[in-house]
Amino acid sequence: MNKKVIVTGGAGFIGSHVVDLLVKERYSVSVFDNLSTGKKEYVNKKSNFVNIDITDSKKVFDVVSQIKPDCILHLAAWARLKRSIDDPIGTNKVNVNGTLTMLEAARRFNVSRFVYSSSSSIYGGQKNHKMKENFTPHPISHYALQKLIGEQYCTLYAENFGTKVVSFRYFNVYGDRQPDQGEYSLVIGKFLRQVKEGKKLTVFGDGRQTRDFTHVSDVARANLIALSANLPRRKNTIVNIGSSQETSVNQIVKLLGGIPDYIIPNPRGIYEEKRKVANVSLAKKVFGWEPKVMFKEGLKKLQVKMVYI
C-alpha cells in the first residue's frame, strides 16, 4: 500500500510542485488548501483535493482522522513580507495558528512524520551573509517571526511527543507558477512579466542586494527525500534548502536584458536584507540533497516559457 501524505498548500506555487512529484512517485496524496492564494488548476488531478482552512481545527482533526496519513508536509502559509506587515493578525492566524493546528493533528492521530516549510527570512540581519543553521535567528519582519515561531512549535512537538520533524529553511524559491501579479508578486515573476510587456524592470533600492534563488524542483525534491530519510526522534531537524549561489537584483536585470527602473529610497526600508546565500552542507550530510538547477539555467528555461511562448 502506498504511503498516505497530506500536503497543505498543495494548490500553491511550491506546494503544487511537491504534489506533482509525490504523485509521480506513487504516493497517495491529499491536498489541503482553501484557495485563498492557491489555484484549483494547479492541483494534480490524481490527488485528493480537500477545500479546507487549516485554522479550522475541528474540521482539520475530522479530516485527518479519516485519512490517517503517514506524513504531513506543511507548506500552507500567507507568505511575503509586505503582506505580514499589512495584516499581522491575519498572517499570524494562518502562519502560526495554522501550523499549530497541523502539528496537533499529527500528534492526535499518530502521524509519524511532519515536514515544515520554514524560511531563510528568520536569519534576518547577520554579520556573515553565508547563512548556516546554527546562526542565532534575528527576524526583522512579522513573516520571519511567524515562521520562526512555527519552527519552535515543531521543536516542542518533536521533543515532547516524539514526532519525527523536519524544518526546511527555503531561500527565495522561483519557477513555473510563481506569483507575477499584484503587490505580493515575487521579483523574478514580476521581472518576467515586465519584460513580456516591454516595460522597465522595477528595482527597489540600488539593486545591489543579493539573494540565493532556488529552483522549485530542488525544493520539491527535498520534500520527497524527507519522507523516507532516517530521522532522529525527539528532534527538529532544521536544514537550509538553497542553491548556494549569491545573485544580486542587478545581475537578474542584466541576465534578462532588461532596463532597470530604480525606486530610491527603497520602499522596504529597514526590512531589506542586504546579502544572503545558503550554506547547504548540512542538507547534503543529513539528506544527501544538493541543488541540481543552477540559477542561470533555471532562469533561462523560465524566461523561454513565460515570455516567448
Give the active site residues: 143
CB 261 within 8 A of CB 198: no
Asked if 58 and 159 count as a contact pair (C-beta separation under 8 A), the reply is no
Non-local (6+) Cβ contacts of 66 within 8 A are: none
Grid cell for residue 182: 499584484
HEC profile of 180-220 = CCCCCCCHHHHHHHHHHCCCCEEEECCCCCEECCEEHHHHH
Give the dihedral of Cα atoms 229, 296, 117, 143; nearest 10 deg. Answer: 160
Within the chain, what is the greatest distance between any pair of CA atoms? 57
Query: Concatenated DSSP letters for 119-130?
Result: EGGGG-S-SSSE
Name the grid cell of 88.
499581522
> Cβ neighbours of residue 152 under 8 Å, at least 6 residues apart?
none
Q: How far apart are CA 158 and CA 271, in angstroms?
A: 31
Q: 240 has which bridge partners? A: 169
Residue 204 has phi, psi (to 5 degrees) of -80, 125
Q: How far apart are CA 252 and CA 194, in angstroms?
A: 13
